[in-house]
Amino acid sequence: MIRHFEKIENLGVFSNYKKPSGIQQFERFNLIYGLNGSGKTTLSRFFSDLNEGQADGFPNLKYKLKTDDGDFQQGKPYLRKIRVFNAEYVDANIGQLEGTLNPIYVIGAENKTLAETVKADEDVLSKLTQKMSEKQAELVKLEKQKGKIFTDIAPKITEAAKGAVTRTYNKRNAENAYNGLTTFQQLKLEDLAEASKTMKQSAMNKLSEFTVPQIRIAQTEKPLFDAIEFQVAAVSNLLQCLTSAPMGPNKVIC
């Protein structure tokens, strides 16, 4: 901790300052006050320059200060970091203040740049938020339009399928059917007409089972198709016998 200045020379109004006898040393909290031009700003700047061991604009500066870490003078930087909050610091790190201050400020060497970056990011965020709100409103509108499409198409599907509008097939059924599609294809008008015509076809009565009739041949009953095959074989054998018999007056019995 800095305790007091032994001397300060060639620093503005502090051209030849020497510690008065009996002056109190610096403590944790200190109040420095004076009239305009008495050196308050110069002194605050000097505190900032102690970490450098020199002050800009004062090449002939000489000083000596007492601290808990020992004595320091010009050319020897003070080892502990000193932070000075004055009007110049506010302007360099925060910028010009306009309107009402926000309730909390975090002070730091890079805060001016960070504040500008935050402001730019907030502007971008505001635009993106507005755009997101517009897209959400557009999404709600499109969802309503989609629901109306399924509501309108459901009775047309039932009419095409059953020839009459019923309440058993509704918007939810149409949506489920659409979501179950694996391929999507837009049909031509003639294809739609043919599909509608096919859907409107009435179902035929169920045919009864066909029973194959029995045919009696030589005291034996055979199924119709077996009897036909038997007769075809007999006729074939007879024709073969007749065509292979020798020519002449002799009779051939087949």
Q: What is the pLDDT of residues 20-52, one digit of tens each?
A: 888 888 888 888 888 888 888 888 888 888 888
Region class of 248: left (phi > 0), else alpha (psi between -120 and 50), else beta = left
Answer yes or no: is pLDDT of 244 > 60: yes
Give me the number of domains the chain comprises. Answer: 2
User: Which of 84, 112, 128 is where one domain is finished?
Assistant: 84
User: Which of 59, 84, 109 is where one domain is finished?
Assistant: 84
Condensed to tens digits (0 to 9), the pLDDT of residues 64-120 reads: 999 988 889 898 888 888 888 887 777 776 666 565 555 555 555 566 777 788 889
The answer to whether the beta carbons of residues 212 and 225 sit under 8 Å apart is: yes
Under the banding of pLDDT at 50, 70 and 90, the label for residue 205 is confident
Q: Does residue 80 lie within any of the structural domains?
A: yes
Name the least confident of 2-6, 34-38, 147-151, 153-157: 153-157
The answer to whether the beta carbons of residues 51 and 82 sit under 8 Å apart is: yes
The residue range of the domain holding 19 is 2-84
pTM value is: 0.37
Q: Does residue 58 lie within any of the structural domains?
A: yes
